[in-house]
């Protein structure tokens, strides 16, 4: 079959199939919505036998697999242009920080400078099993990044291998548990403030601790009196985020640290939101013993659908001996080596990951730090906080604020402004999609009913923020003027409209199965 014949044949096959995965747009013959093309999965576009490559027949092939020969490995048959179109179209369905404002609170969706990408490509050929003498440069990147992380946080040690924020939490809490056991103590309780990220109580529970919740006060901060009265010889640690997930700085943090230490407990800080304070304050100076840093948030690097995370954990003197393997050290001869087995007086918690961590992320984070410099990193924090407060100031009379006063890198609103309009917070955010914006984080943190958490990051300019603010003001007006339907029908312009999110979250369909 010639190439063109093959395509014609495959298009014919497609018309013959009914495509159950596609819901057709109204009023178009093709089901496409403008230039947004409707199509099924690549497996549904299968024309058996069609391929972009012509393989030579193998004549002299002596099959010694007996009955184990597979007729097919189930790959769909498509021509090269069909494959290219399919994946290009898929990429166009993606909303990304590269296409517009992505104000997802607590997620820090910031621009990834292309310089980082260029530098990361230089390390594309490095293999983790290469002899160390041939990868001194790569080890140097890990070593230098580790150095700057300790400098920025004011803590003496860092474990580089954790592969995400939650993985870093696991690392830190395992180190705390090991330190407590090494003291011959049993402390079964970990305190977690009500406003915590869900990963915090999950990590504590995964490490075998019992989670005790500390309430928030009416200013959205940890209730210091409740915290103090929860302290005892049974408490191993607190897991606290600062700035917290209400976007607020915990002003009692030093007193919290002192109270914990007086009770023999450790202070784990969730540093995923370090972007709000980097270059301004060193967590070690606040009395924090252990903190993970989401390189993929604070120090850019693509994440979410765009790439892996990386969650190095900085550790105090007391926790450093328990850091996981491996780590990079510089020998007396100047050579960098990897410590793969416990050395004297160290009691590593083990290994958390194959090899040395997320090398590509290390390169990007170091490139980000070095290109910003000390003053640039400080400005990152300042601009992130400024942008969030600009949104706060512009929208505080349109939306409702659960907690008064300035915020840090993200601003928390709630749904009370919708009271009496018949529009829910969910409807409201769906209408924002029609305006071309990814919605903010919603219904989190849990301490606030109908939370709407906006994190603009420092990367947005005033024009972009003003457009976003304008869109929100417009929607508030529509809601208050009684245009309920505008919201109930949103989103109208997306390839898919309202999804059954509850069912999608509970009944995963993760595998395509061929209908026989």
d(CA 346, CA 340): 12
3-state SS of 373-439 is: HHHHHHHHHHHHHHHHHHHHHHHCCCCECCCCCCCCCCEEEEHHHHCCCCCCHHHHHHHHHHCCCCC
Q: Which one of 243, 309, 348, 450 is in contact with ligand PLP (CB under 6 A)?
A: 309
Smallest separation (angstroms) from ligand PLP to the CB of 159: 15
- Quick one: tokens of 15? 């018309």
Which pairing describes strands 157-159 and 452-454: parallel, antiparallel, or unpaired?
unpaired
Per-residue binding string, ligand PLP, 472-491, x by CB under 6 A, is --------------------
Does the protein bind ligand PLP through residue 298 (CB under 6 A)?
Answer: no
Q: Which one of 106, 298, 301, 394 is in contact with ligand PLP (CB under 6 A)?
A: 106
d(CA 297, CA 457): 10
* Number of residue whose CB is nearest ligand PLP: 165
Does the protein bind ligand PLP through residue 311 (CB under 6 A)?
Answer: yes
Nearer to ligand PLP, 103 or 309 (CB): 309
Nearer to ligand PLP, 249 or 417 (CB): 249
d(CA 243, CA 240): 9
Smallest separation (angstroms) from ligand PLP to the CB of 84: 32
Nearer to ligand PLP, 45 or 358 (CB): 358
Does the protein bind ligand PLP through residue 273 (CB under 6 A)?
Answer: yes
Does the protein bind ligand PLP through residue 445 (CB under 6 A)?
Answer: no
* 235: β partners: 189
Q: Which stretch binds ligand PLP (CB under 6 A): 54-62, 265-273, 428-436, 447-455?
A: 265-273
d(CA 210, CA 193): 13
Does the protein bind ligand PLP through residue 407 (CB under 6 A)?
Answer: no
- What is the b/e burial string over 344-357, where b = at least 16 CB atoms within 10 angstroms of the residue's CB? eeeebbeebeeebb
Q: Which one of 45, 79, 161, 294 is in contact with ligand PLP (CB under 6 A)?
A: 294
Does the protein bind ligand PLP through residue 272 (CB under 6 A)?
Answer: yes
Nearer to ligand PLP, 402 or 445 (CB): 445
Per-residue binding string, ligand PLP, 139-178, x by CB under 6 A, is -------------------------xxx------------
Does the protein bind ligand PLP through residue 197 (CB under 6 A)?
Answer: yes
**Helix locations, 450-512, DSSP H:** 462-480, 484-488, 501-506
Q: Which stretch binds ligand PLP (CB under 6 A): 185-193, 215-223, 270-278, 453-461?
A: 270-278
Which pairing describes strands 189-193 and 157-159: parallel, antiparallel, or unpaired?
unpaired
What would you report as the CA-atom Rg of the chain, rounded to the nearest whole angstrom? 27
Cβ contact 270:297 at 8 Å: no
Does the protein bind ligand PLP through residue 270 (CB under 6 A)?
Answer: yes
How many residues are present in the chain? 516
Q: What angle do CA 468, 470, 472 make, to 5 degrees?
A: 70
> Footprint of ligand PLP on this chain (CB under 6 A)?
106, 164-166, 197, 199, 241, 245, 270, 272-273, 294, 309, 311
């Amino acid at each position: 079959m010639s190439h063109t014949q093959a395509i014609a044949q495959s298009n014919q096959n497609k018309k013959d199939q009914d495509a159950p995965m596609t819901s057709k747009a109204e009023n178009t013959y093709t089901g496409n919505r403008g230039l947004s093309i409707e199509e099924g999965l690549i497996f549904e576009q299968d024309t058996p036998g069609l391929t972009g490559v012509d393989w030579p027949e193998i004549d002299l092939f002596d099959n010694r697999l007996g009955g184990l020969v597979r007729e097919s490995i189930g790959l769909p048959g498509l021509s090269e242009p069909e494959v290219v179109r399919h994946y290009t179209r898929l990429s166009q369905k993606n909303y990304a920080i590269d296409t517009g404002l992505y104000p997802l609170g607590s997620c820090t969706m910031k621009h990834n400078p292309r310089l980082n990408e260029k530098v990361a490509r230089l390390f594309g050929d490095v293999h983790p099993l290469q002899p160390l003498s041939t990868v001194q440069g790569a080890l140097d990147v890990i070593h230098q990044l580790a150095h700057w992380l300790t400098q920025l946080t004011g803590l003496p040690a860092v474990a580089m291998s954790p592969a995400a924020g939650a993985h870093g939490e696991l690392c830190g809490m395992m180190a705390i548990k090991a330190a407590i056991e090494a003291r011959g103590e049993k402390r079964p309780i970990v305190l977690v403030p009500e406003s915590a990220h869900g990963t915090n109580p999950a990590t504590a529970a995964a490490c075998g601790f019992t989670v005790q919740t500390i309430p928030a006060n009416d200013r959205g901060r940890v209730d210091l009196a409740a915290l103090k009265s929860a302290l005892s010889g049974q408490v191993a640690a607190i897991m606290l985020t600062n700035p917290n997930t209400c976007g607020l700085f915990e002003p009692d943090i030093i007193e919290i640290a002192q109270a914990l230490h007086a009770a023999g407990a450790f202070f784990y800080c969730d540093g995923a939101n370090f972007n709000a304070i980097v270059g301004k304050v060193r967590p070690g100076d606040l009395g924090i013993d252990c903190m993970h840093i989401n390189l993929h948030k604070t120090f850019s690097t693509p994440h979410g659908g765009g790439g892996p995370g990386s969650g190095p954990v900085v550790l105090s003197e007391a926790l450093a001996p328990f850091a996981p393997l491996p780590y990079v050290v510089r020998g007396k001869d100047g050579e960098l080596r990897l410590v793969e087995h416990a050395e004297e007086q160290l009691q590593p918690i083990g290994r958390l990951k194959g090899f040395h961590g997320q090398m590509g992320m290390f390169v990007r984070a170091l490139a980000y730090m070095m290109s910003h410099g000390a003053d640039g990193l400080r400005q990152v924090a300042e601009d992130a906080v400024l942008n969030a407060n600009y949104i706060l100031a512009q929208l505080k009379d349109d939306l409702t604020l659960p907690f008064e006063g300035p915020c840090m890198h993200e601003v928390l609103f709630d749904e009370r402004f919708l009271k009496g309009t018949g529009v829910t917070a969910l409807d409201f955010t769906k209408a924002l999609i029609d305006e071309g914006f990814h919605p903010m984080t919603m219904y989190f943190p849990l301490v606030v009913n109908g939370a709407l958490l906006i994190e603009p990051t420092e990367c947005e300019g005033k024009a972009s923020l003003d457009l976003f603010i304008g869109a929100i003001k417009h929607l508030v007006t529509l809601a208050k003027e009684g245009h309920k339907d505008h919201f109930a029908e949103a989103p109208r312009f997306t390839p898919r409209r309202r999804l059954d999110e509850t069912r999608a979250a509970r009944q995963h369909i993760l595998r395509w199965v061929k209908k026989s």
